[in-house]
Amino acid sequence: MSASGTAAAGQVEHMLRQVTPGRYDAYEALLRVLSTPSSGQVWMLLWHGQAGSPDAQYGNMEVDGHGYAPCVTSAQELSASGWNRSYEVVDGLDVARTLYPEHYGLWLNPHAPGGGVGIPWLDLRRIATGLERQPAGPLRLSEPAVPVPQFYALLTQNAHRTPAVRSLRRAWVQPALGAPYLAIGLDVYDTSPAAVDSVRAMMQQSIVAVPEGLPVSTVAMSDAYDPVAIWLGVNSRPFYDREAHVAPAPAGGYGYPPVRGAY
């Protein structure tokens, strides 16, 4: 192995040793290393085929009903694992892009004492699309309790004047790291550039009614991989629905009991 390959393995293994239950900061640091080309290389275990061949298939394992592809973090760990089939050395970023669309996670060093560390597909998606673009999980999601009726009223008025908008939903998101924020789920009829610009303008015109210090973000309800969008689709009702002609729900409970959960 080259000196650069040894250094890359060393960074991954160093961060892996820091990860313990509840240490979300260490886990995030591990994700950052894996997302960095050349620094986040892993040795993917091939169940079938050879490295680089069209028929190559990663191994798979199931933990608590979720699928993972096993890998090791160095040539030394490969030897320790006893794996006697083929393998390929790949950047963690490339692995993340391959696995997350199939809802597969990545499991590092499953042979190690304690069973290694699993990275769910939701976090592989964060690696693939940019760690800073998505909140750090596990997320706690609930119906917002922050009273901002002026914002909801203005947003509803502007949504009614924006033909691309079908409905709006809301959630309170508490990431594992970072400040909680209000998420607005956008369900739209049209994703053309002009429609996207009109929805962006709608949010910009409405955000002026948000109290200072309250972070607000948006999420596309059409994103089948976003945990906030998934939660909203299952656990929330629209507070604006063009087709149902429903008026905004009143503040203070919004007309139905709060729903709490976690992803």
User: Is 103's pLDDT higher than 50?
Assistant: yes
Q: Residue ranges of the domains in the chain?
A: 3-133, 140-262
- Mean pLDDT, rounded, for 117-123: 94
- Closest by CA position to 131, among listed 180, 176, 67: 176
Are residues 209 and 175 in contact, defined by beta-carbon separation less than 8 angstroms?
Answer: no
Kindly report the pTM of this predicted structure: 0.76
C-alpha dihedral (62, 63, 67, 68), degrees to nearest 10: -100
Which CATH architecture fits 3-133?
3-Layer(aba) Sandwich (3.40)
- Considering the domain delimited by 140-262, tell me its CATH architecture: 2-Layer Sandwich (3.30)
pLDDT at 9: 53
- Residues above pLDDT 90, as percent of the chain: 67
139: its two tokens: 């997320």
Angle at 107 between CA 102 and CA 110, to 5 degrees: 145
8: number of CA atoms within 13 Å, CB side? 23
CA distance 10 to 245: 58
Report d(CA 165, CA 120) in Å as an integer.
32
pLDDT digits 0-9 by tens, 239-255: 999 988 644 544 433 33
- What is the mean predicted confidence (pLDDT) over 134-152? 92
